[in-house]
Structures are given as C-alpha cells and as structure tokens.
Amino acid sequence: MGVSCGSYLRDTWGRAADRCSRLFPCFSDPGYYYCYYYCYLACLARRSAFSLKIALVMLHMVFAGVLFLFDRDLIEKTKQEPWYTALYVLLFIATLVQYFITAGTSPGYVLDVLKAVDERDAAARRALLASKQPASSKNGDVVITVDGRNNHRGNATAWTKLVMSLYPPGSLTCPYCNIIQPPRAKHCHDCDKCVLQFDHHCVWLGTCIGQGNHCRFWWYICEETALSLWTSILYIGYLESNILKAWWADIILILLLAALSITLIFLLLLLLFHSYLIMTNQTTYELVRRRRIVYLRGIPERVYPFNEGVRRNLYLFCCARSSMYRMERLPTAQELEEKSRPYTCYDVVSCRCC
C-alpha cells in the first residue's frame, strides 16, 4: 500500500514537472539560473550607474541652486548684467551635456573593431569576385588604420594577421573574450569587454575610458574644473560680503565650499595628470601597471614606446576622426633606441622633442 502510494506521488510529480518544462522550457535548463544570475547582476550595475548619474546631476543643482537661494546680490547682478549669469548657466548646461555624451560614447570595444574588419574583409571579397579588381579597404564610415596607414587585407584570417603584425614577439589572447588583443587593449571586467587603448573604468560615468571617448572625457574634466572654480569664486564672494548676517546660511555655505574645494583640487590634479598622459601618448593603465604589461616589461621606464612628439600626440588625440579605429604597432628595437636617446640642444632647436 505504501509502495503504491509512493509510486503514485512520484508519477504525479513527474507529470507535473514534464508539463512545467513544456510550458516553461527555460526553467528546465540548469544554465538558465546562471543566465538569470548574470542578468540580475547586469541589471543591478545599470541601476547603480543610473543612480550615480542622478546623484551627480542633483549635486550640481544643489551647489548652484544654493547660490541663487541665499545670494540676493547675485540676483541683482543678474538683473543688471544678465550676460554674467547667462555665461555661468551655459557652462553649467554644457558640463552636464558633456557628461552624458561622454557616458554614452563607446570607448572603442575590440569586438566592434573585429566586426568591422570582418565586414570589410567580406565586402572586399564580394567586390573582388564581382569586378575582378583589388577591393577598397573602406567599409562605410569605419576605417581601420595602423600608424596612419590604411591596412589592406583580403583573406579569412584578416583580424589575426592584422593584430599579429603589430606584435614583434607574438600576440596576446584575451581569455574572457577569446580574441587576439591588439597592443594597448585590455579586458575590462566591469564592462566584460576588451577596450582599445584602455585607460580606466570610470565609476561616475558608468563606462570605460578608451580610444573612443578619452578626448570627450578630457573636455568633460576641463569643463567640470572651470565650473567648480567659478562656483567657488561665487561662494567666496558671498561669504565676504554677507558673513555673520545669517549664521545658519553661513554654516551651510562653508560646508559646501569645503566640499567644493576638495572636489576642485581633485579635478585639477586629474586634469593635469591626463594632460600629461595625452602629451606623452600614454594611458593610466600603462603608467600604473607598466611592469605587469607583457609588451612593456623590457622597455626602460623613461621611454614611452608610443610617443610620437607632443604635436603629433595632440593631433591624434584631438583631431583624429571618431569613426576611425587606430591601432598602433609596437616599435622596433631601433626605434626604441632612438626614443631613449637624450635630447640635445639641436633636438630642442629642431623641435625633435615636439
């Protein structure tokens, strides 16, 4: 009796499980739970990034709104000289717009470049078969260049040969993306993608800083520094003319000014640091983790292998097209020896250092 009852319960449970698996096939797959877990983590990351963006906007509103709330002289000055407040408001809006543009710009994912190379190679094959003529290396608005020269390849392993030609000793493979990384690329564990010229992952922006958005990031820091400096000057002007009139308002403004001063010092140091990186064609990751990077271990500390002079570095950083994926090859031993040679008076006069 007990056996028949137990078998009946097992059969009933088995039929219910089969029906559930037919109605909801995803629940019958053990990988579903892992997929659900990673989707849940990704959702939490997106919510966290969105919350940080809202918090940053609210901080800007608080620091600027307190001035117009307490400073009656600023309101009168706005009525007499509206251009002054208009410039401040324009800088305020431009800073927030630049923030969202930088956060929404792709840092230059290696997978996107790989896709562009494959599409270009497929288009070149189709054009070659159709016209029996050498195909162009351009595909729409995407151009892949190596040291300023368009790279022409038309075989099945275009990406592999393109990347391996940039490494004199060999190549590196990303164990997470399972692709061959070009020089200066690194896998970001927060974005779970490899990034060209990886600099760092910015928590406040919620994205990586790489080749695609480093220029926009520098302009955002510059605008944020100017806005913080201007706001600090307005705070100091109010405290000088209205001190001891309302002690509670003074305490609030002094606390906000202290926080703003710390932020301003941090922004100034960050701006100077990234300006130095730009002029020497380095990234934060290469500077901090130089001894851990395989292709930089044998290079002396004071030698910057990708440095092409201040003018060339600034041109590539500021004036290069955003649709162009630029990959730099590792310099040869002769080029490294030339870069390690100290500057002479003739080099300074001939602008070799620039």
Residues labelled catalytic: 202
Q: 308: which residues sit within 8 A by CB, 6+ positions away? A: 281, 316
What is the Cα–Cα distance from 226 to 267, expressed in whole angstroms? Answer: 10
Q: 219: which residues sit within 8 A by CB, 6+ positions away? A: 98, 102
SS3 string of 210-258?
A: CCCCHHHHHHHHHHHHHHHHHHHHHHHHHHHHHCCCCHHHHHHHHHHHH
What is the Cα–Cα distance from 175 to 185, expressed in whole angstroms? Answer: 13
DSSP code string of 67-135: HHHH-HHHHHHHHH-HHHHHHHHHHHHHHHHHHHHHHHS---BHHHHHHHHHHHHHHHHHHHHHHSSPP
What is the Cα–Cα distance from 213 to 108, expressed in whole angstroms? Answer: 8
**What are the two backbone dihedrals, phi and then psi, of residue 28, each rounded to the nearest 5 degrees?**
-80, -10
186-188/180-181 β-pairing: unpaired
Please identify which residue in the block is written with the tokens 């060339």.
312
What is the Cα–Cα distance from 156 to 142, expressed in whole angstroms? Answer: 19
CA-based torsion, 179, 185, 186, 187: positive or negative: negative
3-state secondary structure of 178: coil
CB 243 within 8 A of CB 250: yes
3-state secondary structure of 186: strand
